[in-house]
Amino acid sequence: MELSDFGKKFTVKSGILELMDDMGKALSSADNICMLGGGNPAIIPEITDLWHRRFEEIVSDRSSFDKIIGEYDPPSGNINFIEKTVNFFRNKYGWNITEKNIAVTNGSQNAFFFLFNILAGKFQGNVIKKILFPLTPEYIGYADQGIENSMFTSQKPVISFLPECLFKYSINFSNLNIGNDIAAVCVSRPTNPTGNVITNDELSKLDEICRNKNIPLIIDNAYGDPFPSILFEECVPIWNENIILSMSLSKIGLPSLRTGFIIANEKIIEAVSSVNAIISLANSKMGQFITAPLIQDGTLYQISREIIRPFYKKKSDAAIEYLTHRLKNKIEFYIHKSEGSIFLWLWFKNLKITTRELYLKLKENGVIIVPGEFFFPGLDDNWKHKHECIRINYSSENTEIGLDIICKTILEI
């Protein structure tokens, strides 16, 4: 059987495919594998207790249960969920949005596939327009989302060295070139994989540039405020008619329910809803039913700040302290300043092997990480830095065991 160009593009080996395959095998394996490579959030008892209670409430209410399993929602999402979400953002942040400014998708991964290919790709006259990532490294899941080839472009960051083996990436505005071939600009905040939080000034500059160019600014807010609020720097979310804000319910502890939503102008919402109807008919309802009343009464906002954020901050601090204690003054290594998300980004400068080779060694030793080369979508040059970094997820119960193996392996190389 010969596959179409589309079939070939989406079945070749990719970073996200390998990552999810490793994660699935690790989670189902009877072996003692330390899974520090995926994006699975931690199981936090207080949070899972909340979801358990909500499931019980839904199942005990026969009318709600019947609606969840027996009725399609409109392509834009569940009306009750959207209304409550609109009211929350209007009241909390004063945003001038209505029900026509929100569309639900089956996870934010779906949302980005829709958005990237709605906004960029092939135009009349065989013109290819691109998505610009102004700050790499960026999320591994973006890299293979384009139906057309060469749909992404990006630029290297400015690197600032900080005390205690820390460093930070910043946008190089002096080198930022947004030509007529750029259809939209996209950033994640906090950034997956590095835990970087683009500053308020950086975000304001990007917003102004995009509005002047009349192109959308897409903000991936999967780890940000108001929920799950895995943020260790204070930053208020922003929105206007030119911003597409993507939200996810995965990192509040509901990854398997595949529920995301975007806040955007009506034209974008109409387009995403149309694609929803064609690709999925309707969205998964359970995540929307579980969280709608918790969004309305502020519970989701509260638990994000009082339970989820402190949990991950404690885990992040512990992992950084452990790595610094084991590796400081022994090799040249740096950790990106942990400002949010559930990841640490480690830079082993002048490593004798690539982090792809390190990944294979660690895999043999029972630890799954992700090599850095997958996190530079649209950056085509062979920058050595790409092969000196790894991403680790510090939320696992056996994180310290995995870190111990990583340190031992690095010191042996």
pLDDT < 50 stretches in the chain = 30
CATH 3.40.640.10 describes domain 72-297: yes
Q: What are phi and psi of 127, to 5 degrees?
A: -80, 130
The pLDDT of residue 23 is 52
Give, as one character, the DSSP assignment of residue 175: G
5-47+303-412: CATH superfamily? Aspartate Aminotransferase, domain 1 (3.90.1150.10)
| pLDDT tens per residue across span 74-121 | 999 999 999 999 999 999 999 999 999 999 999 999 999 999 999 999
DSSP annotation string for 187-225: EESS-TTT-----HHHHHHHHHHHHHHT--EEEE-TT-T
CB atoms within 10 A of CB 304: 21
Inter-residue contact 255 to 108 (CB < 8 Å) = no
Contacts of residue 110, Cβ cutoff 8 Å, sequence gap at least 6: 258, 260, 279, 280
pLDDT at 413: 86
Give the β-pairing of 243-248 and 260-263: antiparallel
- Which residues make Cβ contacts (< 8 Å) with residue 104, sequence separation at least 6? 73, 76, 77, 78, 81, 82, 259, 260, 261, 276, 283, 288
Q: What is the pLDDT of residue 30?
A: 45
SS3 state at 287 = helix
CATH 3.90.1150.10 region(s) of the chain?
5-47+303-412
Residue 282 pairs in a beta bridge with none
C-alpha 198/C-alpha 189 separation (Å) is 6
Per-residue model confidence as pLDDT tens digits over 56-70: 999 998 988 888 899
Mean pLDDT score of the chain, rounded to an integer? 93
